[in-house]
């Protein structure tokens, strides 16, 4: 059986895949691997439903006066009762959300301000959990408010197989970076591709090309180890693209998209191979 040292976090995607492999449920492993890859490259510009549900759960312990103060301080007003039950505090929280259009930048900023104010109202033990939930959506908690995070270009490498479960997070950050600093986004995409390839080669027990090797050679070695021949061209120009003159965010987004398609294919192929080897 190929090594799959996934983390054991309860309910995590990586833990679900590990369980599927250990029980030799290949069909389930395939579905989970597809779920992992289906999210890659998505760029949530909003607080996800999952994150809002976490904040809603936390609102159940916040007095109504403080809950209203957080939203009213951000100049948000409650909308219609969605009628989903769950108590007065949860209902009030959902009423405020019902009046927010997150695709309106101004209203998104207001929501970030309101959710930030709620951090101060919950128990200390819950604060980090809430902040981390918003961070997964690409927001940074700073100065008491949530704002879209600015991403450093040097933190996209994958070094362990459990990192595959957060490739979509890396992709989201790369897309954000592409709009601001295209060259850094392309460098980050190249780093992600190379690190995924080297990680997979290590897991397969195959020798990796030297540190000075061309990205195309590294990708080719990985595809060969996986007994695949597709997608090598998808990353062929990543190394050179960064040096183009007049590089635009559009160019960077194209490069990031190609890189994420490639690493998604490699990650999914490795996971399916690992599942089949366990049979």
Per-residue model confidence as pLDDT tens digits over 33-61: 555 545 444 444 688 888 999 999 999 99
* Listed range (25-29, 147-151, 180-184, 237-241) with the worst mean pLDDT: 25-29
User: Are 246 and 199 a contacting pair, CB within 8 Å?
Assistant: no
User: Are 71 and 96 a contacting pair, CB within 8 Å?
Assistant: yes
User: Are 266 and 196 a contacting pair, CB within 8 Å?
Assistant: yes
- Angle value at C-alpha 182, between 180 and 184, nearest 5 degrees: 95
Cα dihedral 123/124/125/128 (nearest 10): 120
Q: What is the pLDDT of residue 64?
A: 94
- Work out the angle between the directed axes of helices 215-225 and 249-277 (0-180°, nearest 10): 30
Q: How far apart are CA 213 and CA 242, in angstroms?
A: 17
Per-residue model confidence as pLDDT tens digits over 83-117: 777 889 999 999 999 999 988 888 989 999 999 99
What share of the chain has pLDDT > 70, as a percent? Answer: 75
Q: How would you class 109 by CB atoms within 10 Å of its CB: exposed for 0-12, middle for 13-18, buried for 19 or more?
A: middle
Per-residue model confidence as pLDDT tens digits over 61-85: 999 999 999 999 999 999 988 777 7
* Sign of the Cα pseudo-torsion (42, 170, 34, 250, in order): positive
């Amino acid at each position: 059986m190929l090594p799959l040292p996934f983390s054991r976090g309860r309910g995590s995607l990586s833990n679900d895949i590990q369980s599927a492999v250990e029980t030799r449920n290949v069909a389930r492993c395939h579905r989970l691997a597809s779920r992992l890859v289906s999210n890659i490259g998505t760029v949530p510009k909003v607080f996800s439903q999952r994150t809002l549900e976490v904040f809603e759960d936390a609102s159940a312990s916040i007095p109504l006066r403080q809950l209203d103060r957080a939203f009213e301080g951000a100049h948000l007003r409650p909308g219609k009762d969605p009628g989903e039950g769950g108590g007065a505090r949860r209902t009030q929280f959902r009423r405020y959300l019902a009046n927010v259009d997150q695709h309106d930048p101004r209203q998104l900023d207001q929501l970030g301000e309101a959710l930030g104010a709620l951090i101060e109202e919950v128990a200390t033990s819950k604060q980090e959990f809430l902040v981390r939930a918003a961070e997964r959506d690409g927001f940074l908690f700073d100065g008491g408010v949530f704002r879209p995070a600015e991403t450093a270009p040097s933190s996209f490498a994958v070094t362990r197989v459990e990192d595959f479960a957060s490739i979509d997070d890396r992709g989201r950050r790369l897309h954000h970076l592409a709009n601001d600093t295209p060259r850094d986004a392309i460098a980050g995409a190249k780093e992600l591709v190379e690190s995924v390839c080297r990680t997979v080669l290590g897991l397969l027990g195959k020798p990796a090309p030297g540190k000075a090797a061309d990205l195309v050679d590294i990708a080719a070695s990985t595809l060969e180890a996986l007994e695949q021949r597709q997608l090598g061209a998808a990353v062929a120009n990543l190394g050179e693209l960064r040096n183009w003159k007049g590089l635009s965010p559009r160019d960077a987004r194209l490069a990031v998209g190609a890189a994420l398609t490639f690493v998604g294919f490699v990650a999914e192929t490795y996971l399916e191979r690992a599942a089949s080897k366990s049979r």
